[in-house]
Chains A and B, each alone.
Chain A
Amino acid sequence: MSLNKISIKIGGPAGSGVFTIGLLLSKYFQRAGLNVVYTTDYPSLIRGGHNTCCVRAENEEINAEVLNHDVLVALDDLTITEDLKQLNKGAVLICDTKSTFESADYQVLKVDFDKLLDGMDKRYFNTIAFGCVIGLMGEDGDMLRDALATHFRKKSQEVVEENLKAAQVGYDFAKEFCVQNNTGFLGRITKTQNSLGNTVFMSGNDAACVAAVKAGVKFVGEYPMTPSTSFLHYMAAHELDYNITTKQTEDEIAAINTAIGASVAGVRAMTATSGGGFALMNEAIGFAAIAEAPVVVFECMRGGPSTGIPTYTDQGDLKFVINSSQGEFPMVVLAPGDIEECFEESFNAFNLADILQTPVIVLLDKHLAASHFTAKRFDTSKLKVDRGKYINLSDEVLANNKRHEFTEDGISTRFNPGQPGGIYTSSSYEHDETGYTCEDSENHVKMMEKRFKKYDAIPKELLRPKMYGPEDADLTIVGWGSTKGVALDAIKYLNSDGLKVNYMHFVYINPFDNEEVKSMLDSCKDTIILEANYTGQLRDIIREKTGFYIEKTYFKYDARPFYFQEVYTKIKEVLKK
């Protein structure tokens, strides 16, 4: 087994602390200087069922989950039944002594958790399991203590001490096992400096939240819905430090409408939801657009239709979001593909919403929203809040009352209730320049044109799909959103196999740069599109906008993310033909 390259799967019933083990291991590997991908798989229930998580760590850049593991931590027998097939030959299985499982194919480390707990609170058994994994690597234990102290930094000293004790017990036990059985260790993790420099380890939702704080969001209205709920938790947890009024509203309709109210009153406002909640928000999206109220909506996709499979991933809401609300209006829809993009594009979303004075939807999916990745620590020094044409209320300048004034670029100067001189009404009705209801056809035409003209304010380079890999590739993988991770890993390995494959990544999907995308696709030798949905929604959009039809497809609608091996194998097959 190679050093500094490992994948660990942990499984057990909900409520047993499966994810704590995964997160502790991730923290350990991050602090050892490795890149980490941490993914979870769990059903929609609180106790029981089958929860798993995977921790993949390597020296090199990695972006996706793999299907073969070096260690399986089985907190119940169901995990052995379900997940053993994913273990590499010679890998280690850690399970309870009560398990009857025996196998010559694997090294089986049976842990008497009850005995090792020795008076400790029962809930520390997952920390023991964490200690066991680290013990198998035979390292000296400093990094283990460091990872624990970091993970529990917000807890009391007592909790940290108890966890350290439990981890030490597991660690000693596993080390002893290796010596006694002369089985050898998994391989020592050598602490190195990550080539990225300082790293962060966070989920897509975390990165988006951090960006929202940086962007100066002042109001958050949200109703809990998996997998967007962590936005609510995160922003509420930071409401005191950053003066962010975070409100759990009675429903998603109220969530977006409070955000729109706050926006009209002049603050940066946001909401977050998933498909079902977004369906409820639809009417208000159009309202924000016609009232020219900036608002940022994070939509975290999960498996549908309807309640669907709520804790699993999917890319099935793209066309729904793009076509949301009645009538036609400008709206930006963007889908970040990794942690850096979650951060950068969420920050951009707030600027764009203000500059264009219209809704911006940030589309995530459960895989990116809830999985954790290491990334280069964000450079925030160049980020500037840009509120566009905006009169600050504190400036007390006298505004005119033409809040929706016709201008060259379609963008009118925005000012808020309280501003002297500038009285107007923000209306969901078509209106004249002062916001007064106007059903005159000539005015309506001018207003429609004014609103759509605002698209021109989006920098062209933002709309351009990003290319990764060799320019003269024989095959171009096309994808959007969280597909980026697995596509990047796949092209890296395919290219090292001597195949020439690159990746075209869409972040901005609405508006769409028809000419640029067409010319980029025309210059590809061959294309295949990857989407985590049934109908190929981006493929349809590309065809609609450019006439370019991507014939080769890999659509995955099992509500699980694309795994590295799946994409790698598929592309190899396609290239063989």
Chain B
Amino acid sequence: MNEEIKIEDVNFVGGDNLKFSLLDLDSKHESQWCPGCGNYGIVMAVKNAILKLGINPKDVLIVSGIGCASKFPHYLKTYGIETIHGRALPVATGAKLANKDLHVIVVGGDGDGYGIGMGHLMHTMRRNINITYLINNNEIYALTKGQTSPTTPKGKKTASTPNGSIETPVNPMALAIGGGATFIAKSFSGDINHMSDTIARAIAHKGFSIIDIAQICVSFNPSMNFKWYKDRIYNIDDLPDYNNKNKSWGMIHALESQDDKIGIGIYYHNDDDRETYIDDLPEDEKLSLVRQDINDIDIENILDNYE
């Protein structure tokens, strides 16, 4: 079983005291992503975060849905579950409840998380289960070749909205604050250092952490390229009134961050926000469910009740 990781203990510079190396995390599978895809950087950042935290790869479970981003588990040498479209969060929830010693990282796209899986997202945030959710948000459906997604900007022309989308996009940061997540951040697939640091902090956070990652899609959303993002991104840590322990502060800045002005950074995080879901379970959870002995369970006293 693993020792609890505290973010303060982590040497973010890395190098000297790493228990595992990038080689340990190399799945040796050739990627199926397009050249220039933002997912490459995100995989790298997750690897960096795992190494920085010194987690044994065998104790990492990466759970994904279906979509480009959801091919993720194959490109790290950790345990993985590639589930069905939109259902990564409930599968991850079940796995974490069964074995609380696992570090469960959920990865999916904007369609997977904010579209088909939105219902699960709301309830998983509400539960504050101690898992990390990365949404690789390229504001488009890519694996199905270019339809509008829940985060596609209003007015954008896509294969399914040839006359421009008329729907208001989801604001992920505002959604997460309203939904009750206890670690809420935005990052950018073009900034490995920012992603690595944020993901490591998210994994170390006690509770449900969500990181929406602005992701470049070179094939189906080419206009929102590296330069497009660089021109619009600012770091919310630099704001003069910076106070990300305060939900109201986070909400104000979440609402300010729109497509013409994208704030990256941690909008809200608080380890003491409330107990995690597993800590709140009424049953005796000292030992993970998977480690409990199920042979010869005595049910005679139950049967007595039916006599």
A interface residues with partner B (beta carbon < 8 Å): 30, 150, 153, 198-202, 206, 210, 213-216, 218-219, 221, 238-240, 242-245, 247, 249-251, 253-255, 257-269, 283-284, 287, 291, 377-378, 380, 384-385, 393-394, 416-429, 435-437
Contact = CB atoms under 8 A, between A and B. Distances in A.
B79 A418 contact: yes
Interface string B268-307: 0000000000000111110001111011110110110111
Contacts, number: 200
Contact of B80 (A239, A283, A287, A424): A424
B37 interface: no
B47 interface: no
B87 interface: yes
B95 interface: yes
A265 B61 contact: yes
Given A245-B289, A385-B296, 18 more contacts: A30-B307, A218-B98, A218-B290, A258-B91, A258-B97, A260-B94, A261-B96, A265-B96, A265-B102, A265-B290, A267-B99, A393-B99, A417-B99, A419-B58, A423-B57, A428-B83, A436-B74, A437-B71
A408 B58 CA distance: 28
Interface residues of B, number: 56
A417 B102 contact: yes
Nearest to B301: A241
B283 A424 contact: no
Contacts of A210: 299, 302-303
Q: Per DSSP, are chain B's interface residues mostly helix, strand or loop, or mixed?
A: mixed
B119 interface: yes
Given A218-B98, A243-B284, A254-B90, A264 B294 contact: no
B97 A245 contact: yes
Nearest to A393: B290
A267 B290 contact: yes
Contacts of A436: 29, 74
Contact of A261 (B92, B119, B295, B297): B92
B66 interface: yes
20 contacts: A30-B307, A218-B98, A245-B281, A249-B123, A257-B83, A258-B93, A262-B95, A264-B95, A265-B61, A267-B98, A267-B99, A287-B83, A377-B303, A378-B303, A417-B79, A417-B95, A417-B102, A425-B74, A427-B81, A437-B82
Contacts of A245: 97-98, 281, 283, 289
Nearest to A256: B90
Contact of A424 (B79, B282, B297, B302): B79
Contact of B295 (A243, A262, A385): A385
A267 B92 CA distance: 14
Contacts of A206: 306
B259 interface: no
A532 B57 CA distance: 53
Contacts of B123: 249-250, 254
B86 to A, nearest CB: 8
Most buried by A among B80, B91, B120, B282: B91
A170 to B, nearest CB: 25
A559 to B, nearest CB: 28
Contacts of B102: 265, 417-418
Nearest to A429: B82
B98 A219 contact: yes
Given A250-B119, A425-B82, A243 B94 contact: no
A430 to B, nearest CB: 11
Contacts of B78: 423
Given A426-B81, A436-B74, A264 B299 contact: no
Given A200-B306, A243-B284, A377-B307, A265 B294 contact: no
B249 to A, nearest CB: 29
Given A216-B294, A267-B98, A251 B82 contact: no
A221 B89 CA distance: 13
B94 A221 contact: yes
Interface of B: 29, 32, 57-59, 61, 63, 66, 71, 73-74, 77-84, 87, 90-99, 101-102, 119-120, 122-123, 281-285, 289-292, 294-297, 299-300, 302-303, 305-307
A202 B307 CA distance: 9
B82 A426 contact: yes
Contacts of A378: 303
A251 B80 CA distance: 24
Contact of B289 (A219, A385, A420): A219
Nearest to A30: B307
B95 A261 contact: yes
A380 B289 contact: no
A437 to B, nearest CB: 6
Contacts of A201: 306-307
Given A254-B120, A425-B74, A266 B82 contact: no
Contacts of B93: 254, 258, 261
Contacts of B289: 218-219, 243, 245, 262, 267
A417 B290 CA distance: 10
A236 to B, nearest CB: 10
A417 B119 contact: no
B297 A262 contact: no
Contacts of B120: 250, 253-254
Contacts of B59: 417-418
Contacts of A199: 307
Contacts of A268: 294
Contact of B61 (A215, A417, A421, A429): A417
A385 B94 contact: no
A287 B84 contact: yes
Contacts of B283: 239-240, 243-245
A441 B92 CA distance: 30
B59 to A, nearest CB: 6
B307 A198 contact: yes
Most buried by B among A201, A249, A291, A426: A426
A247 B97 contact: yes
Contacts of A239: 282-283
Contact of B99 (A153, A216, A418, A429): A418
A423 B297 contact: no
Contact of B90 (A258, A421, A422): A258
A97 to B, nearest CB: 37
A84 B79 CA distance: 65
Contacts of B84: 257, 283-284, 287, 428
Contact of A218 (B79, B87, B281, B294): B294
